[in-house]
């Protein structure tokens, strides 16, 4: 069976996050400096390090089977590819911004204005939806400088923390799109490649699930087990083990990160004591 071909960004934050995910999935990646193609030792996978902007086209053409790429780029390039999993990292916004001193009440401020951007398709779709006509200046990089040199009256670009906008005297006005890294597949994926993708996806989902969950251990009087168990958002039912102390048991379960403090407070009120929270490395269902 031929190895599955996966593309990741050649460098930058998305590259680092993608390699970390593969490592968490038990995939060993050994590549030398400036090596653009790597065959993995312990999984049928070939990694291609590509320019971010080239990845959607390579996916559509079937040059690569799958890719970890920013969702915003897939939307901008408008290629025939399918997102199979949202990965939860490299989150950003794609937003409109103007100089700090400019008052903007709504999107109609940009009517007839010049906007610099690296995402013309996404911006045009948004402007058309809001019946706004603007003059778009397509720039491949350093979009934030455009208002300062008189090239444009606003920009449309990726925003992460907002520090780059602040340093260039700009402020965010409208968030057009929220994006994160996704796993996408080619429309030409073969049956064998899909089988390997399913194996990889199984590992990725186990890692993703674990990151969103915590393992919880707590002690509870036996007469309060039922009340405490009803609070725990368990997979099936909590594990209950008797303690050496008569009349007490230890309950073990899993709790989602976003429910953590709310559930912990309820457990304490219901009589739980000695709570221990442990990170989960992998979570296979």
List the domain range (segments joined by +) for residue 106. 92-179
Tell me the sheet residues that pair with 273: 219
- Tell me whether strands 37-39 and 45-50 are parallel, antiparallel or unpaired: antiparallel
Please tell me whether residues 200 and 219 are part of one structural domain.
no
Query: What is residue 284's predicted lDDT score, i.e. its pLDDT?
Result: 81
Which two tokens mark 119?
Answer: 């995402």
- Residue 55 domain flag: yes
Query: What is residue 235's predicted lDDT score, i.e. its pLDDT?
Result: 64
- Residue 284 domain flag: no
Domain count, the chain: 3
Counting as low any pLDDT under 50, the low residues of the chain are: none
HSE-CB of 122 using CA atoms within 13 angstroms: 25
Cα–Cα nearest to 83, from 97, 100, 69? 69
Q: Who's near 20: CB < 8 A, 6+ residues apart?
A: none
The CATH number of residue 122's host domain is 3.40.190.10
pTM value > 0.75: yes
Cα–Cα nearest to 4, from 89, 68, 51? 68
SS3 87: coil
Please tell me whether residues 98 and 148 are part of one structural domain.
yes
Q: Who's near 24: CB < 8 A, 6+ residues apart?
A: 207
Please tell me whether residues 204 and 173 are part of one structural domain.
no
Which residue shows structure tokens 């690296």?
118
Task: Kindly report, residue by residue over 61-105, the tens digit of the pLDDT.
Answer: 999 999 999 999 999 999 999 999 999 999 999 999 999 999 988
Q: What distance in Å separates the CA atoms of residue 59 and residue 107, rounded to the nearest whole number?
A: 34
């Amino acid at each position: 069976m031929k190895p599955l071909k996966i593309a990741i960004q050649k460098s930058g934050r998305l590259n680092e996050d993608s390699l970390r995910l593969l490592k968490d999935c038990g995939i060993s990646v050994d590549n030398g400096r400036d090596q653009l193609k790597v065959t993995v030792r312990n999984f049928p996978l070939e990694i291609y390090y590509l320019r971010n902007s080239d990845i959607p086209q390579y996916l559509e053409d079937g040059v690569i089977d799958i890719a970890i790429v920013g969702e915003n780029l897939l939307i901008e390039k408008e290629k025939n590819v399918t997102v199979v999993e949202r990965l939860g990292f490299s989150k950003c916004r794609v937003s409109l911004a103007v100089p700090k001193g400019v008052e903007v009440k709504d999107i109609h401020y940009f009517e007839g204005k010049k906007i610099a951007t690296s995402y013309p398709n996404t911006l045009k779709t948004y402007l058309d939806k809001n019946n706004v006509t603007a003059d778009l200046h397509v720039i491949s990089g350093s979009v934030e400088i455009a208002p300062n040199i008189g090239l444009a009256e606003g920009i449309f670009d990726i925003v992460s923390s907002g520090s780059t906008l602040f340093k260039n005297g700009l402020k965010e006005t409208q968030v057009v799109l929220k994006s994160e890294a996704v796993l996408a597949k080619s429309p030409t994926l073969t049956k064998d490649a899909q089988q390997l993708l399913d194996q990889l996806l199984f590992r990725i989902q186990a890692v993703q699930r674990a990151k969103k969950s915590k393992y919880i251990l707590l002690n509870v009087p036996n007469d309060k087990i039922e009340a405490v168990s009803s609070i725990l958002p368990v997979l099936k039912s909590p594990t209950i083990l008797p303690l050496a102390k008569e009349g007490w048991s230890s309950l073990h379960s899993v709790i989602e990160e976003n429910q953590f403090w709310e559930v912990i407070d309820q457990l304490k009120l219901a009589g739980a004591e000695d709570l221990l929270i442990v990170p989960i490395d992998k979570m296979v269902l």
